[in-house]
Structure 1
Amino acid sequence: MGVFSRFMDIVNANINALLDKAEDPEKMIKLMMQEMEDTLIELKSACAAKIATKTKLDRNRNEVEALLERWKKRAELALERNREDLAREALLEKRKAATNFDQLVEDIARYEEIIKKSKDDISKLEEKLQSLRNKYQAIVERATRIREQQAASETMRKATDHEAFSRFDKMEQQVDRMEAQAGMSKSGADTVESRFADLEEMEAIEAELEALRKEAKGSKQ
């Protein structure tokens, strides 16, 4: 397929419709961008070749224009010297140069149109390529956001997983049992301590009571 045919296919393509049908829009855009970039390189190369040809035609036209002037002056010189034969030959050469000059002017005008169209085509393709690059960037950013959201959802799913909560419940129950056991041990220790305290208090009361008895007996005597 020629560069012009590829260019027309690309320019006339409905990118949005193609992307809607694509299974992998990101991959599709990358392929399309590569195709556009390759076509753009070929268009610019072809345009540069046309510009080079026109430059050569311009140079030839200037040379022929100078030749026209030279044959005109020669014809005038021949007439001044009464050499009509040479004047006729000079005018004949001048006419040939004029024909060549007219053809060069026509070719230059044609190449100017071709170059103008080539530059317009390049501008259109560059605009389309930039639009595609913008779409690609938007798709990449969108895909990145989706992947981040999926990762966050997966993290949340794991965090709220029933099995995870079950493990936490078991750990909590184990801690509750340990606290209960510690409380029972402390309660048992407090009971023994209180019994000894009661016993000691009773002993003190008995001693005080015995002292009062002795005091009462002494006062009776």
Structure 2
Amino acid sequence: MGIFSRMGDIINSNLNSMIDKAEDPEKIARLIIQEMEDTLVEVRTDAARNIAERKELSRRADDYQSRASDWATKAELALTKDREDLARGALSAKQQSEAMHEVVLKEIDIIDEAVAKADEDLSKLQSKLNEAKAKHKALLMRGQVARGQIKVRQQLSDNKVEDALSRYARMERKVDELEAHVESFDLGAGETLESQFAALAADEAIESELAALKAKVGTPKAANGDKKKAG
């Protein structure tokens, strides 16, 4: 199973339920990034283990190759000493060492392939991770803008504004009622307090003007009145 298949299984297992529940997309993005970072660590750990294993296999391959060379030398020595039986045994041991050398080389080829694949996958995953982080930053910015727009629109359409205006209108009506209550004390009295004072001022002006008029015409009238009495 490839790295991206494994990563997809890991992510999908955690994300499907979140998406179904309409979770915060920013949380989903952070989870994806976290899963990708965890996968990077896991793959690097596996690659490091494979590299260490390859070094061990290389040492074993060199050892089997050295053994095969040693058995070849011993086979020649045995023949020079007319010990064909020993030469035959040395050649058998040489073949076994060469066979093990080939087995180890095949194991090294498998590990080399795995390391190369891991290197390729790590490069792709790192690129995808960088892309995901960049998109996450853009997503955060888009989310902030969207939340700001929602807040403004909620303020424009929120009933709180209408409620505040309604309370203000009720306050105005209450003040109007208080003023009306004050004015109601003047009802039934015929005249208001202000109108009575205004009337007093008008009467005083009339009396003053009447007195002035009497002073002007009072002497002739008074004289005529005395003549009528005397007659």
**TM-score of the two chains, using structure 1 as the length reference:** 0.59
Percent of aligned pairs with the same residue?
A: 37
C-alpha separation in 1, matches of 2:108 and 2:29: 39
SS at match of 1:82: coil
What are the equivalent positions in structure 2 for 1:12-161 lying under 5 Å apart?
A: 23-147=23-147
State the TM-score, normalized to the length of structure 2: 0.56
| C-alpha separation in 2, matches of 1:27 and 1:149 | 20
Letter matched to residue 68 of structure 2: L
Q: Distance in 2 between matches of 1:130 and 1:11?
A: 17
Corresponding letter in the other structure for 1:143: G
Greater Cα radius of gyration, structure 1 or 2: 2
Supply the distance in 1 between the matched residues of 2:7 and 2:150 (Cα, whole angstroms): 40
Structure 1: give runs of 5+ residues left out of the alignment. 167-221
Q: What amino acid does structure 2 have at the position aligned with 1:46?
A: D
Q: 1 or 2 for the larger relative contact order (CA 8 Å, sep ≥6)?
A: 1
- Asked whether the equivalents of residues 50 and 111 of structure 1 are also in contact (C-alpha less than 8 Å), the reply is yes
Q: Which amino acid aligns with 1:24?
A: D
Give unpaired runs (5+ residues) of structure 2: 169-231
Determine the structure 2 residue equivalent to 1:203. Answer: none
Q: Aligned-pair distance for 1:8? A: 4.4
Deviation of the 1:62 alpha carbon: 0.7
Distance verdict in 2 for CA 1:117–1:49, change over 3 Å: same
- The number of equivalent residue pairs is 160
How far residue 152 of structure 1 moved from its aligned partner, in angstroms, is 7.7
Paired AA for residue 140 in structure 1? L
Q: Distance in 2 between matches of 1:80 and 1:122?
A: 57
Instruction: Give the direction of change, closer, same or farther, for the CA distance of 1:7–1:153 in structure 2 (3 Å limit).
Output: closer
Q: What does residue range 172-191 of structure 1 map to in structure 2 within 5 Å?
A: none
Q: Distance in 2 between matches of 1:81 and 1:4?
A: 63
Q: What whole-Å deviation, never above 9, does each CA across 1:58-84 have from its counterpart, x for those lacking one?
A: 110011111111111111111122221
